[in-house]
Chains A and B, each alone.
Chain A
Amino acid sequence: AQTVTQSQPEMSVQEAETVTLSCTYDTSENNYYLFWYKQPPSRQMILVIRQEAYKQQNATENRFSVNFQKAAKSFSLKISDSQLGDTAMYFCAFIKNTGGFKTIFGAGTRLFVKA
């Protein structure tokens, strides 16, 4: 069975600085997708960034980038130039790409961006 672990329950960062959120996962699959979702306070969950396991190049979306280490089963999220609007819960998630596309979420990391 697949598992997703986020070891940092809570983090804080100063506005304009960079922060990295950690995620590790466990799977025997070779073909899968990894995601970071953002859930702002009292607002809907949205997708931040996704990574296909077969791609070696790390995904980037504006200020958000990932460090995908397939052998280590690690998938960290880096937020550059942090903004107050980045304050949210961040969830790491996994979907295997073979039959039964069940999404597995980690427990989340609460990020506070301080002014």
Chain B
Amino acid sequence: EAGVAQSPRYKIIEKRQSVAFWCNPISGHATLYWYQQILGQGPKLLIQFQNNGVVDDSQLPKDRFSAERLKGVDSTLKIQPAKLEDSAVYLCASSRGGGGSLLDTQYFGPGTRLTVL
């Protein structure tokens, strides 16, 4: 089966500009995750969708970050306006369910590396 697709792979912007990332999960996966991975750190969950509803967005900086998952499939993550500290790799992952069982294994995309100058 096709894996999780993300685009773009790389993006360089200046601070205060806007940027959007796109994710296409594995077909049939109900749960979609966006993670922020700052250099030298582990991934941090920004938002988790179950179908097109939000399960957890407690760590999403809502004053500048937004995400949507229309029709419960593809998702976009937007940053507006970007700050220097947003420089990171943004990972998208998907799973059948949202738990920790074998059936709920998360599959990760290649990530989008964002550099904010």
Contacts from A to B (Cβ < 8 Å):
4, 6, 32-33, 35, 43-47, 50, 52, 91, 93, 95, 97, 100-108
Contact = CB atoms under 8 A, between A and B. Distances in A.
Given A44-B3, A45-B91, A101 B40 contact: no
A102 B42 contact: no
A104 B48 CA distance: 13
B64 interface: no
Interface of B: 3, 33, 40-45, 48, 55-56, 58, 91, 93, 98-102, 104-106, 108-111
B40 A102 contact: no
Contacts of B41: 107-108
Nearest to B104: A101
A107 B38 CA distance: 10
28 contacts: A44-B3, A44-B110, A44-B111, A45-B43, A45-B91, A45-B93, A45-B108, A47-B105, A50-B102, A50-B105, A52-B100, A91-B42, A95-B100, A100-B55, A100-B56, A101-B48, A101-B55, A101-B98, A101-B99, A101-B104, A102-B45, A103-B33, A104-B45, A106-B42, A107-B41, A107-B42, A108-B41, A108-B42
Contacts of A91: 42-43
B105 A103 contact: no
Nearest to A33: B100
Q: Tell me the dominant secondary structure on chain B's binding face.
A: loop
A44 B48 contact: no
A103 B47 CA distance: 11
A95 B48 CA distance: 13
A105 B89 CA distance: 15
A97 B101 CA distance: 9
Given A44-B3, A44-B108, A103 B45 contact: yes
A47 B103 CA distance: 12
Given A44-B3, A46-B108, A47-B105, A105 B98 contact: no
